[in-house]
Amino acid sequence: WEGTKRKMMMMLSPSSCTRRGGGGSHVAALLRVLSCCILVFQLCTVNQVQAQASTNATADATDSIGPVNSTSLDEIANVTTGNGTEPLQNITEAEVGIGNEENVTDSAVNVTEPPPPAKEEEEDFGSKVSGITKEVTDAFTVGDCSLLQGLQGCNSSFTSGDIASSAILNAVLGVLCFLSFGALRSHIKVYRARLASPATTIKPPKLPEGGLLQIVSWIIPVIGMSDESLLASAGLDALMFSRFLMLCVQFFVPVTLFSVGVLLPIHYTSDGEYNRCRYDTPIINQDPLQRTTISNACANDKYLWVHFVFIYLTLAWAMWLLQKHYVTYASLRHYYIGLPQKPNYWFEKFIQSQDPNNVDKHNGLCSPTSISMSEDTFLSPRENESVGSPFTPTENKEVETNASNLVFSVTNLKDVARAWMRPDKLFNHKGQEPEDLKMFTSQNPGESVKIEKSDFKTTFHGEDTSIATSANLISTSMSLHIASESTPMQGVTSGSERKSLESQQSFAALKWWDIYTESFRSSKKKGQEREVMMRPSVRHIKGVNSVMEGKLVSVNAAQYAVLVTDTPRSSTDIDHLRRSHTHTPGTSFDFDNEDPDALRMITRHDDICTEIFKQIFPRSFKNVVPVQDFSEVTKYLLQWDKASQQLEVLEALFELDGVRRTMKTGFLGLYGERVDSITYYKNRVEDLSVKIKRARRKAQSSRAARSSFVLFDNQVDAAAAAQSVLLPMDGTKFVTHRAPGPDNVNWMTLLKTSKERFLRKVLMLPLIAIIMLFPAGFFSAAMGVFDVALCQEGSEIYWDWYCKTQSPIGQLLKRLVTGWLPSLLVTIWQNLVVTRTFYMVSLVECVAFSLSGVDRRITSLYFYWDFINIFLGAVLGAGLFTIFGQALSLNDVQEILQTLGAALAGSANFMTNYALLRALFLVPLKLVFPHPGILNYLVRHMLSLMCFKGVGITRRQRYQAWEPKSFMYGREAGTALLMTLIGVSYVATSPVTVAIVTFYFIGMYVVCRHHLLYVYARNYESGGELFPVLFDRFVIMLVTLSYFMAFQLLTKQAWTQAVLLFLTTPFILYKFHSICTKRYREVSSNVPLDIAWRQPVADVPPQMYIPSELRSQSVGWHPEQGKTWSGYGMP
């Protein structure tokens, strides 16, 4: 054990920490003392084991032990080298004599010295772990390349030339994508899908088109679009995500200017020809990009205090921005979620008209109009488009432009700059803060909707909202046009025909792709009408009409509802709960005997929720809506939708050429009886309609799930019930929550109990672990192996030209294989595998009661993957195993810090290359390729030009070719967090990397703002609930920045700065996070009662919280209903 003692003395000696450019310090001595304490603990543990072995020694144990011939045990223990004790495995049997049994004496039994320990016992725990990690690394090594390497792979000579080659390629591809979008955006309907879609209630303005300037003329209007315009058209979720990108731009721009202007010169001049560190042998030919990182800085340099101060300034700037944006979020959430909005006419037409107890509460002003639907044909009314060119919009020359009434006016640059300088404010298109937002806590929150019987004129916040002005719309047959008094409206029947549907058998489902018209008369135009889709928008699903001070308004149905989960079914629990409650009869409803909907299950007299809430809230309680399992209905509806689409195509072809097609009834039409196609599919649709109705009855009579929605007539009692503990029982039973909006319900989770949800979450952990731990750097290493195999003689894929050529093309190809292609493969892996896996995991776990909760879960999983796999795993790679083994063996604390610091700084080149791919290529690619639906559009268009009659012949086909897809908040937020993590972590380490990340966020801000307004349609509206998740992750990244920089300073022997960062920054950030959470999160998660009591009383129909599958005629259903991400083939 003399070797261990010497090891301790060497670690305590000041000379052990002396390095070029600086010496040891008190902090270094403290680290050495801690290391020695661990060694003493190890020594004591081994001595205890040996003492126990000596006590239990017997004569039989000494039979095989002979006397020491040439060297005593003490001499063996004292064999040392210059660095410590010599390993015992180097002692051969020649040095230790092995005697025979005759040499054993009686005194050997009482020997006090323990026998020579085996090699395994002598090795300390750290050495064993170090050996294990080495074996793991070797197991994943092919040739000289480890598959566990980081993004750098096996290319140890990755230089600035490689990055320059990747940058050139990325820039060329990015420019081509940008030019393609600018040239094609007026010809491809996908790029303006929200303008053309009749499911969009508030459309953004038409962007300038025509001429060469069309390539760039869209940028200024998109940037100049006010936040109020984005809020009105796309919702608060879209606005808050846009503002998070805005926050990143605001954060990185000044930070980049300081980092590039101040820190980069300090790094670059430390070595090389400048040699500010006064090295004896400066490195002249060092890689230029590596010289810009902190790894080139001098050890114990006084300029490292600049980095120290810069970190605190960065943290202060970030905290100021986060606080300002959080203030805006809290204000906007109250403004958008809690206050009255414009009337919801779809609600009046399809929901309120089906309530048997509903009376005409608005004097007939908004009485719904019946829609004529015939079972004789599924062919929708013919559009004013030719079949030969189904993708070319029909221009309406009669539409006049009234620019003075534009809600979406583009603000001037002064107002845009003002909005960026005041992140805690929301400005309208006039550069002013809306009055109703400034006074969102006052008694009169804003101007409401006014209704005049004479001309149906509606105004909201000073704008004419009876219908959008013509300049706001793109002119198509699905857009606004001037109605002719003599021309009957398509899809809407006259008064004598309004009961045509009632006289027939009711449909199993309405045709969601059909169009009906809404007619209005404004103060300037009379006889205006617009086409509206049967498929409801989010604004239609979530809003309930009510009367406030004689004015018709729409309020958020979620503010009048409470979600109750885990209702007990045990008879003992129910008897205990009901012992103090009186029986209350349920509300009676009339039903359609032929197709009853789920109203039969509303407010049953034997329901425990009904009795409890009726007693506690006797005046405001309205109904209890139990959740039923409707999966079988959904299955038949999807089959019905597919069959009806085929029937519609066949009818359209028959109308076109007069030929009735035939088909075989067997598998894929390959065999079976040949029948008339139209007749077959018509019978198929009728059979499925019967099955749908039977499945509805079965769902209504089935056992209800343990979740229910409780409806109130005012927001105060609903808020109080959601935030209260109603019963003195187990906290896992009868739990109340804020109800998600009808558009935001994740029905799958509500069908599961708490135990089932917990079990599902546990079962998903292995899959999550596999995705988290599978190294993304595997692709870089694999390309390194591929590069080596191409140049290895005798290999099956040996390529002589690739290995021996010195031409510029050959060198460029090599750099692309080892530099550009790995980053692209990581991105493909992330989008195709990681994204879909996290989506499926979030659904199967059933931990989120809302669709927005699923997106938040995906965002969280994405952030963990960003941090563990990309930042730690892909950056450090196999170095993690080596560092872990060194840390446990404690051979040299300074060596551990050096290894870690070198790995952190050395990864800057590779993260720079990854950021270049995203900033220069993937951002423009997202502009021209917003979603995979663009491929579907192009293929359909090509087929239609090739005279395929069945393509684009029906309205549904034409709509589905370009229909807007949903914005994948979980994936997009996860990607934004990854780039934020890279930029924040390298803010003082690699100024070039931070500059590229800044460029990325500037591009993403413009692209996402355009797509949220014109391309993507929201699938739900949560009121910006994703922003608190992004806030929390940003704070975690600031902590990472502090520790990351502290490690860098330790490797540069800036002990004081490093320890100060370690000790102070976590406390500062924790306090900041606690204050913001206390001030804003609790306030923003629920509408304050001071605002709630001023809101109007509303009668929320139970149908609002009945799944559309269980409503009569499946009102509001479409194939993508209830999905978090729609249009991507996801479940």
User: pLDDT of 178-200, one tens digit each?
Assistant: 999 999 999 999 999 999 898 88
**285-289, 800-804, 1080-1084, 1092-1096, range with the lowest pLDDT:** 285-289
Query: Could you count the other beta carbons within 10 Å of the beta carbon of residue 539?
Result: 21
The reported pLDDT for the residue numbered 80 is: 40
Whether the predicted pLDDT of 1012 surpasses 80: yes
The reported pLDDT for the residue numbered 284 is: 61
The reported pLDDT for the residue numbered 242 is: 95
Q: Are 356 and 596 in contact (CB under 8 A)?
A: no
DSSP secondary structure letters along 702-739: SPP-S-EEEEESSHHHHHHHHTS--SSS-TTSSEEEEP
* Residue 498: band (very low, low, confident or very high) from pLDDT cuts 50, 70, 90: very low
Rounded to whole angstroms, the Cα distance separating 843 from 832 reads 17
**Per-position b or e across 721-745, b if 16+ CB within 10 A of its CB:** bbeeebbeeeeebbbbebbbbbbbb
Rounded to whole angstroms, the Cα distance separating 1103 from 358 reads 12
Tokens of residue 1063, six digits: 């000790």
Q: Please, what is the end-to-end C-alpha distance for the chain in angstroms?
A: 65
**Averaged pLDDT for residues 829-833:** 90
Burial group, residue 572, by CB count within 10 angstroms (0-12, 13-18, 19+)? exposed
Tokens of residue 453, six digits: 């019987």
Whether the predicted pLDDT of 1099 surpasses 60: yes
Burial group, residue 1074, by CB count within 10 angstroms (0-12, 13-18, 19+)? exposed
The reported pLDDT for the residue numbered 89 is: 41
**Averaged pLDDT for residues 255-272:** 89
Which stretches does DSSP call E strand in 257-380?
none
* Residue 521: band (very low, low, confident or very high) from pLDDT cuts 50, 70, 90: low
HSE of 105 in the Cβ direction (CA atoms, 13 Å)?
4
DSSP secondary structure letters along 127-173: HHHHHHHHHHHHHTEETTEETT--TTTT-TT--HHHHHHHHHHHHHH
Per-residue pLDDT of 794-803, as tens digits, reads 777 888 888 8
**Averaged pLDDT for residues 516-523:** 63
Residue 597 identity: D
* Three-state SS at 517: strand
**278-282, 496-500, 531-535, 1043-1047, range with the lowest pLDDT:** 496-500
> What CA dihedral angle connects 140, 141, 142 and 147, to 10 degrees?
60
* Residue 302: band (very low, low, confident or very high) from pLDDT cuts 50, 70, 90: confident
**Averaged pLDDT for residues 382-404:** 34
Most confident of 227-236, 574-583, 663-672: 227-236
**CA of 218: how far to CAs of 205, 819, 847, 903, 1121, in Å?**
11, 34, 41, 44, 32
Per-residue pLDDT of 865-886, as tens digits, reads 999 888 877 566 544 554 555 5
The reported pLDDT for the residue numbered 11 is: 47
**207-221, 448-462, 467-481, 724-738, range with the lowest pLDDT:** 467-481
* Residue 268: band (very low, low, confident or very high) from pLDDT cuts 50, 70, 90: confident
Rounded to whole angstroms, the Cα distance separating 586 from 583 reads 9
The reported pLDDT for the residue numbered 503 is: 32
Rounded to whole angstroms, the Cα distance separating 583 from 563 reads 22
Taken in order 687, 688, 689, 691, is the CA torsion positive or negative?
A: positive
Rounded to whole angstroms, the Cα distance separating 1087 from 110 reads 82
Most confident of 18-22, 354-358, 682-686: 682-686
Q: What backbone phi and psi angles, to 5 degrees, belong to 1052?
A: -100, 10
The reported pLDDT for the residue numbered 610 is: 85
373: alpha, beta or left? (left if phi > 0; alpha if psi -120 to 50): beta
* Averaged pLDDT score across all residues of the chain: 74
Whether the predicted pLDDT of 65 surpasses 50: no
Most confident of 147-161, 378-392, 865-879, 1072-1086: 1072-1086
More confident residue, 472 or 551: 551
* Residue 848: band (very low, low, confident or very high) from pLDDT cuts 50, 70, 90: very high
Whether the predicted pLDDT of 121 surpasses 50: no
Whether the predicted pLDDT of 473 surpasses 60: no
Residue 760 identity: R
The reported pLDDT for the residue numbered 896 is: 63
The reported pLDDT for the residue numbered 971 is: 94
Most confident of 132-146, 258-272, 1004-1018: 1004-1018
**10-14, 231-235, 628-632, 1106-1110, range with the lowest pLDDT:** 10-14
**Averaged pLDDT for residues 147-159:** 54
More confident residue, 510 or 13: 510
Most confident of 282-296, 357-371, 565-579, 816-830: 816-830
Burial group, residue 492, by CB count within 10 angstroms (0-12, 13-18, 19+)? middle
Overall pTM > 0.85: no
The reported pLDDT for the residue numbered 99 is: 42
* Three-state SS at 806: coil
Q: Are 286 and 272 in contact (CB under 8 A)?
A: yes
The reported pLDDT for the residue numbered 335 is: 80
**Averaged pLDDT for residues 387-400:** 34
**Averaged pLDDT for residues 423-436:** 67
Beta bridge partners of residue 556, listed in sequence order? 543
More confident residue, 33 or 269: 269
Q: Are 230 and 239 in contact (CB under 8 A)?
A: yes
The reported pLDDT for the residue numbered 433 is: 66
* Residue 257: band (very low, low, confident or very high) from pLDDT cuts 50, 70, 90: very high
**179-183, 274-278, 770-774, 971-975, range with the lowest pLDDT:** 274-278
**Averaged pLDDT for residues 894-923:** 76
DSSP symbol at 496: G
The reported pLDDT for the residue numbered 14 is: 42
Rounded to whole angstroms, the Cα distance separating 652 from 179 reads 38
* Residue 322: band (very low, low, confident or very high) from pLDDT cuts 50, 70, 90: very high
More confident residue, 75 or 768: 768
Size (the chain), residues: 1131
Q: What backbone phi and psi angles, to 5 degrees, belong to 670?
A: -90, -25
Q: Are 411 and 429 in contact (CB under 8 A)?
A: yes
**Averaged pLDDT for residues 1098-1110:** 91
**CA of 47: how far to CAs of 5, 11, 44, 231, in Å?**
14, 22, 5, 71
The reported pLDDT for the residue numbered 875 is: 61
* Residue 998: band (very low, low, confident or very high) from pLDDT cuts 50, 70, 90: very high
Per-residue pLDDT of 239-255, as tens digits, reads 999 999 999 999 999 99
Percent of the chain with pLDDT over 70: 64
**Per-position b or e across 153-169, b if 16+ CB within 10 A of its CB:** bbbeebbbebbebbbeb
The reported pLDDT for the residue numbered 703 is: 75
Whether the predicted pLDDT of 63 surpasses 80: no
